[in-house]
Every structure is written in structure tokens, then in C-alpha cells.
Structure 1
Amino acid sequence: SFAYFTVKDRLPQILTKVIDTLHRHKNEFFEEHGEKGVEAEKRAISFLSKLRNELQTDKPVIPLEDELPDAALWNQYLDYQRSLLNGNGEPSWFQSPWLFVECYMYRRIHAALAQNPPIGSFDVFKEGKAQNFFESQEAIIALCTYFQELLKNIKDLDEKQLQGELFKLLQVSLWGNKCDLSFSAGEKSSQKSSPLQCLEDMIPYIIVNDMEKLWSLLINAKKGIQISTVRVDIILDNAGFELVSDLVLTDFLLSSKLADEVHFHGKSIPWYVSDTTKNDFNWTIKQLQSANHMWMSRCGINWEGNLKKGIWVYQDHMFWTLPHIYSSMAEVAPDLYADLQKSNLLLFKGDLNYRKLTGDRKWEYTVPFHQALNKFHPAPLCSLRTLKSDTQVGLKPGQGEQIQASEPEWMISGKYGIVQFDATP
């Protein structure tokens, strides 16, 4: 299965890159922290080399021994995985659910650094995320320019035109999800060309397209007298170009009065190579602000303003970096679930969020999305995702089989996308 190749090939590759990154920063650690920095780097590397060996030789997954706040939850989850085996051996790297061991690896990478001050807060993936941003510069300029031009006459747009612009920016945000570094094992994956040019050609590749339903929800909320503020939450995926496309989409929602406030949910630790942390979020806005391109810096300045005014809120929660699927959120993180219930619309970006929404199972393609969510329903929600793993629900009868016949790799190539909506409580 795709999971097998991921664990066998991609994950060790990612670990090797992390070790190499630490090697390359040795001098920097020495300059900043003296011998202590070099010692910490050595300890972190030996921790990660041991981890890579455990993975490659299919050793049992071991409990976390660090003092970090989520360690107990992780170890409880490992006990749960153990209980599923009914005494038939221990959960190991190749004999456990893919979602669990993949999340577990990133958590162990975090521990390798967090347990080794003074380099504890070093983000081993930061360089790759920054590189993706700089290599996507032309696409970012094209998008910021388009958006700033759109803002000049946004008040004059009628409903049909507003809907058309929303659909465009939803698609840019959807296809922005192709820029994923954990998928390419950290190889380059930037957006080179203008993201707006080929949207028409890409429509056939959106195999579930619920944009109309999303529009109905937003326009009805806007007209609804009973709702005082319309809140949209976006559960972020990758930093770099994808994050910029998400920020443009959410600014459009505010500027067109389809939403009054937006809450962004990022990761509290470096995760899946290119996932957005608070540092990435702030860094991206600063980069845009200081860019020597008028419309890029205008976007950055406006977005900084949105944060200051409190109509944009960035938040993270340890639940997003646990191995749990979302149907257990109400039980594991009741505070987060209660917060999401205050939202009018939840937008989940990317493949990992989709796997966690649907329990990462090998569903029949035609199983309804609502059923796969397994009672996870804090608010109306929508998944914007390009397919990079073999789980997909909510297709029409025969649709999956038809694509499969001509493209055996369709579920993992990132070529197909979905805008999949569920409003039923």
C-alpha cells in the first residue's frame, strides 16, 4: 500500500534530511551557544539516528519519556493501540496504523530538539518552508496583485460576480495544497506560475465540488438577521505559497462581508515538514510587509492590521499534533471542540486533515462524507484537499473506478482535488 512505501522510504528520507540540517547548523549553534550548542546538536542527532534505526528495523513503538505537556496523551494512545492487538505482540512501525506512526515520528523529532536545550526551539523544517515561499515569489506577486486590484471595486460587485470571485479564490487555495514538503519528502515543491491562469482547465480534476453549497451557507449567513457576527475558522496546512493563498481567501471573505472574523488554527510544534506554526504565520506576514513589491507589501500591512484589530485570530492547540482522529476531539479536547462550535464554517485544508476527518480508513468511494465523519460535527465544515493518500469518500457510483482505470495513481498524485462540504448536524 501507499502507507507501506511512505513508512519504508519517505519517512527515513525525512529523518535523514533532519539529521543533515542539524549537521549543517553546527557552526551556528556554536556561535550562539558555544560548546553547549554543539553538545546539544550531537545529542539530538544521536536521538534521531536511533529513531531512524527503530523505524527501519520495525522495532516496537516505545512510550515517550519526555516531560512535554502532551506526553501522557501520547502514551495513553499507545496503550490503546496495544489493546487492539489483544496480547499479540507490540505495536511496531510496520504493524501499526500509518496515521499513528507518521504522527509519532514527527512528535519524536520534536522531542529530540525540545529535550536538548539550548537548541530546543530550533525548527528543523524552517529552511524548507522559507525556500518554498521565496521560490513561489512570482505566483505570490500574481495573487497579491490580482487581489489588490479586486479590492478596488469589490463594493460594486453584484452577487453573481462575488460568487465567481469566491470560487476562484477557493480554487487557488485548493490547488495551493499541492505545495507540500512532507509529500515530496522535503524536495522542492513551490508554485512557479500564476495560480489564476489555469483554473478553468483544472475544474475537471475537482472530483467533489461543493462550492455552490459553501456559497449558499455564506450568503445566507450574510443576509441572516439572527447572526450578529459570521465567524469562519480555517484549519491550516502548509506554510509557503499555500498559506498565502489561504490568507488571500480569508481576506476576501472579510472584504466582501461574507465573514466578520476569521480564526486560523496552526500547529503548536513543527509538523509534517511544511505545516504552518505560529512562527511561520508571523514570518510570512512580515516577509510580505517588507517585500519591495507594492501589492505584496500592501497585503502584508493589511493582514498585520487584521491581527491587531482582532478580526484575524491565530491560535494553536496541542490536539492538532496528536494522533487522534477528529471524531474523538469532543472527548480528548472538549475545549477545542466547544470553541469550534462557535464558528459558522470550518475550512479544513489539506490531506492530513482529511485523513483525520474520515478516520484514515479504506472506505468504499461512495460512502457519504457525513458517515465517514463519524459524528464529528462542531459546525458546518468543508475540506479543501488535493489527494495524496488513499482514502476518499462521497464519490458518485463508478466515479472512483472510472478514474482508477486510466490512472492507477490518482489517489496519491496530488493531481485531483475536492471541495467537500457537510452541513448536517
Structure 2
Amino acid sequence: MGEHRSGTDERRDDTAPVILAGAPDTFARSVFHDRHPKLIERVIGAHPYGEAERTALRELLDETLHGTVSPLRTTAADATSWARWGEPWWGREWGELPFLWAESYFYRRLLEAVGYFRAGVWQGVDPFGPTKDAELGSAEVAGELAALDELATAPEPAQRDALSMSALWGNQADLGFQLVSGSGGRSGGLLVDDRRELWAALDAAPAARLHLIADNAGRELLPDLALLDHLLVTGRVAAATLWLKPQPYFTSDATMTDLLAALRRLRVAGAGTAAGRLGDRLWQALSTGTLSARTHEFFCAPAGFDEMPDDLRAALDGAALTVCKGDLNYRRLVGDRYLPPTTPFADRAGYFPTPVAALRTLKSDVITGLTAGQVAALDATGQPWRSNGEHALIQCAR
């Protein structure tokens, strides 16, 4: 699979306006002006950072709100790439930047501020680690892992649908793994449901590889792992690759450290539990290569997947399906633009080197694949339905 897709010589119509970071009365502006100040204070409180780190974090916030974009001052491995990515934007006001670029650079600068890349005591220390750890140790996670015992006795189609819905909703899935019916009371929020096409893509290529581009760690990574295990155990796929971020990113995106923490959380549930057996199987699958964990610098790049480098495209090509999890990956897949909501998903994702499915809870303005009737009904509610996390999509382009 994948050979029918021409990649970079199949260009999208990108005439829709790019979402900018500082446009008045937009969700993007609220991220920088409402969310980031709170985030900076939370990061400061997460570790006993010294005065230098605290000052650098607050200076970063001040720059994003009132200043112009300055380049990295570092010899870190990605400095050359950022110099290239930022060439069009240095010296511009942050609000003039594309939202996707500005957010990505904000998080890269945040890591610089806390000394993540510098030699010293804070090198390699995840500024978001305490929040991730607290979530994995929460009572909600304990209850969801216990519910795996009930799910293990359900018929295979019910298990598959329950796990795919849990992977879709992540920490929005109030009942977690107890979604045995496949709806869990959230079906009204599912605007597009291409699960049939998703399974058909796997059925069309037996004994093939699946890629899953992960989104968040903790409570959202656990159902992703459970879904991968189910597909491997049932033989729906012969092998799977889980793509992770190379460094902490967007507060809670999953790294290799987060994957190991999730596996340990599963395994400590005990040998007599479904969660414990799941953790042991995945641990063994990683050891044998049936499940591979990989990363690439591009997953922290401020660009869409249509700009992925040739080596990453080659690594993905040939798979039966790539599953893109979460809102950020969706923005990178279809383009971070004010697209007409009725734009067909396949028109925006058809360049991808494999058949691709998006499992996404809506947390930003980008949307494709809806009917005009859906859009009218959602707009009539007066609610910020594009960004409040109450709606979701399962979309597939083959």
C-alpha cells in the first residue's frame, strides 16, 4: 500500500487563509494570551527552578505577548533546522506568525528557558513531567485499567470498537475502557465516523504494518497502547510502529520516557489482571520488534505533514494504514487554515504516503469533512464547538 500516492507532486489547494497567532477574537490568540501565562506559572511551580530559569520563562512570555520573534541562541542539535524554519519570521511580532509555527516555537523556546538542552542539572528534565506522573497515578486511570478485565470478556468486535472510541476521546472519555458498547454516551459528539473504512484499509492488506503517530502521554496514551495490542493479538496487523516526540512538546505530547512510564503503569497492575497482561505483551512486543517505537526531528517541526522529509516519508511508505492521533496531528495533516468545514477530508490528506486515518477530538478551529447541515446546526448552538473538546472525528482517506 502507499505506492499509488504521489506525495509531494500531488499539491493541495492552499488558498484558505492561514490561522495566525494573534488575530483578534480568535481561539489562536486566546492560547497565547490566556493559556500561556497560566502554563508558564505552572511550569515554574513544577520544579524548583533557579532564578535564571524562572526569569527566562517570564521573559519568553513577555516576548510572545509584546515583542518580536528572536532566534535560538544555542548549539543544540536542532539549532540549524530552527535557523532555517525561522528565516521568514525573525523580527516579526508573534501575533503575525502562523499559529502552528508560533506554538511550536514557543514550546521549543520554553525548553531552552528551563535548560533542557544545556549541560547542567536541568538537562533532559521534562518540565511537564510532574503533571504527566500525577495523571498516570490518578484514581481515574486505576478505574479505567480495572475496567479492562470486563472488556476482555466482550466479543472481539465490541472490544475493537470500545478501544477505538477510547483512543479517540482520550481523557475526555469519562468511562474510559468501559466503552464496551462502543459509544459510552459520547456518540452524539462524533461528527464523522469512518471506522468501517479504517478497518477496511487494514483488511485490504493482511499481515501488514500499522503506524500510529501518538499525541498525548498519560491517560491518553494508555488506550492507544491497548488498541495497538488488540490489533496485534487479533492478527489484524502483523507489526506496528508507534511514533513519539523526540522531546517534551505541547505540554503533554508523548516521548519515549512517557511510553516506558505507561508500560510500567500497566505492568504494576499485576499478573492476574488484564492490564498487567497487556503491559507484559507490549513489553515483549517491543523486545522482539513486533511493536517498534520510533521518533524523528520532524515531529517537533513547525510544519505540516505535506512537508515531511524524504527519510520519514520512506519510513511510513508501504504500511497498510497510518493513524494520526489528536488535534495537533490533525492540524499538521490537513493544514492549519480556515478551511471551509465541508472540504472533503481526502482532498486535504490525499498526499499522505499511506492510507491515513485521523482520530481527533476538536480542540482548534481546523475542520474538514462535515455536511452543510452539520455546520449550520453546530453554529446555531452558539457554542465554540470547534475548540471545546466536545466533538470528535474519525476520518479515513485511502
| TM-score bucket of the superposed structures, by smaller chain | 0.7 to 0.9
In structure 1, the residue matched to 2:107 is: 106
Bigger share in helix: 1
**What is the deviation of 1:413?**
1.0
In structure 2, the residue matched to 1:47 is: 56
Matched, 1:134 2:137: yes
In structure 2, the residue matched to 1:415 is: 390
Shift of the 46–115 alpha-carbon distance from structure 1 to 2, 3 Å rule, reads farther
Distance 2:186 2:141 in 1: 22
Distance 2:363 2:249 in 1: 17
DSSP 3-state at the match of 1:221: coil
Following superposition of structure 1 onto structure 2, how do residues 171-320 of structure 1 map, counting pairs within 5 Å? Answer: 171-176=165-170, 178=172, 195-196=178-179, 199-222=183-206, 229-292=207-270, 294-320=273-299
In structure 1, the residue matched to 2:40 is: 15
Choose which of 347, 356, 368 in structure 1 pairs with 2:323.
Answer: 347
**What is the deviation of 1:97?**
1.4
Matched-pair contact (CA < 8 Å) for 1:163–1:215: no
**What is the deviation of 1:70?**
1.6
**What is the deviation of 1:147?**
4.5
Alignment: residue pair count: 368
What letter is aligned with 2:275? M
**Among the aligned pairs, what percent are the same residue?**
29
Where does the alignment leave 5 or more consecutive residues of structure 2 unmatched? 1-25
**What is the deviation of 1:308?**
0.9
Matched-pair contact (CA < 8 Å) for 1:12–1:52: yes
**What is the deviation of 1:130?**
1.4
Distance 2:158 2:177 in 1: 18
Comparing 335-344 with 381-390, greater Cα deviation is found at: 335-344
In structure 1, the residue matched to 2:6 is: none
Where does the alignment leave 5 or more consecutive residues of structure 1 unmatched? 27-40, 83-89, 151-160, 180-190, 223-228
Choose which of 304, 311, 323 in structure 1 pairs with 2:302.
Answer: 323
DSSP 3-state at the match of 1:348: strand
**What is the deviation of 1:116?**
4.9
**What is the deviation of 1:193?**
6.0
What letter is aligned with 1:174? L
In structure 2, the residue matched to 1:186 is: none
DSSP 3-state at the match of 1:390: coil
Question: 1 or 2 for the larger relative contact order (CA 8 Å, sep ≥6)?
Answer: 2
C-alpha distance after superposition, 1:239-288 (max 9, x if no partner) = 11211100111111111111011100011111111111100101111122
What letter is aligned with 1:377? F
Distance 1:53 1:381 in 2: 39
Distance 1:56 1:364 in 2: 29
What letter is aligned with 1:318? E
What letter is aligned with 1:216? A
In structure 2, the residue matched to 1:158 is: none
**What is the deviation of 1:148?**
3.8
TM value normalised by structure 2: 0.87
DSSP 3-state at the match of 2:357: strand
**What is the deviation of 1:295?**
2.5
C-alpha distance after superposition, 1:18-64 (max 9, x if no partner) = 122233xx5xxxxxxxxxxxxxx33322221211221232x111111
